[in-house]
Structure 1
Amino acid sequence: MTDAFHIDVPHTHATLAVIALSGEFDIATAPAVRARALDLIAAGHPDLVADLAGVTFCDSSGLGTLIGIWRCAKETGGSLTLAAIPDRLGRLLSVTGMDTLLPAHPTADAALAAIQSNRTTA
């Protein structure tokens, strides 16, 4: 039995949006995540925080989707920050070297605080 997958957007403000994922992030659900993230970017929220606290499984399709979202955000002058990365995804990010490109924080609130702090010091 697979975990039901959900995409929520619990926070938007100015250029920033949090996209919270829960359930299995895999080949079946990755296209919906990409579409929702690109919609947020197109709507003027190029700085995304991906809250992964509820992700129970993530395969290479999920990783590829995060990389694609990161690239699209960068093209618009935005960014992708990860929050609450599950262990398996953390290992995938480390093996691929993406952990050096994608900032990560233990929670979405910590990610938002870091982004706000960077804005005030920039």
Structure 2
Amino acid sequence: MTDVTDPLDVPDPLDVTVRHPGAGTAVVTVAGDVDLHTAPTLRAHALAVVERGARHLVLDLARVDFVDSTGLSTLIVLAHATREAGGSLRLADVPGRLLRMVTMTGVSELLPVHPSVDHALAGRTAGPSD
């Protein structure tokens, strides 16, 4: 008898961690692909953080390899959720390929993109001296 793994039994390949550098602020670090299968995980984690009082979120995307349209939609949902809570969503350390997609789709017009988590926490975008 061959041991077959049910695809639903495979652990979620998206790793999401959260840290709170200050009151009302959370850095959500994402590692893996954000796609049709994993975007609900990111959304659930981030919305739970907002519900627990962190109105300002920074998504650290340095370890994200791929984002599809469902992932982009999730970013927009999270932006709306943080705004409704009186806060903000910022993207940090966005890999080049993803940055091109965020720019081409207009998502960068809705969400500030920062070169690092530190810049995002300080509310600074990249400038000539950065």
CA deviation profile, 1:88-111 (whole Å, cap 9, x unmatched): 322222122221221111111221
- Structure 2 unmatched ranges of 5 or more: 1-11, 125-130
Runs of 4+ aligned residues of structure 1 deviating over 4 Å after TM superposition are none
Residue 7 (structure 1) aligns with: 16
Q: 1-side partners of 2:32 and 2:107: how far apart? A: 22
Root mean square deviation of aligned Cα: 1.6
Separation in structure 2 between the aligned mates of residue 67 and residue 86 of structure 1, nearest angstrom: 18
Report what 1:52 is aligned to: 61
Please give the TM-score of this superposition, normalised by the length of structure 1: 0.85
Total equivalences in the alignment: 113
Deviation, structure 1 residue 12:
4.2
Q: Which has the larger radius of gyration?
A: 2
More off after superposition, 70-79 vs 106-115 = 106-115
Matched-pair identity in %: 46
Q: Is the CA contact 2:13–2:38 (under 8 Å) kept in the aligned structure 1? A: no
User: Where does 1:1-122 land on structure 2 (aligned, <5 Å)?
Assistant: 4-114=13-123
Unaligned runs of 5+ in 1: 116-122
Please state which structure has a larger fraction of its residues in helix: 1
Is the CA contact (8 Å cut-off) linking 2:32 and 2:66 kept in structure 1? Answer: yes
In the TM superposition, residue 26 of structure 1 has moved relative to its aligned partner by 0.8
Distance 2:98 2:71 in 1: 9
| Greater relative CO (CA pairs within 8 A, separation 6+) | 1
Structure 2 length normalisation: TM-score?
0.80
Matched residue, 1:118:
none
The one-letter amino acid of 2:47's match is: L
The range that moved more, 6-15 or 26-35, is 6-15
What SS is found at the alignment partner of 2:111? coil
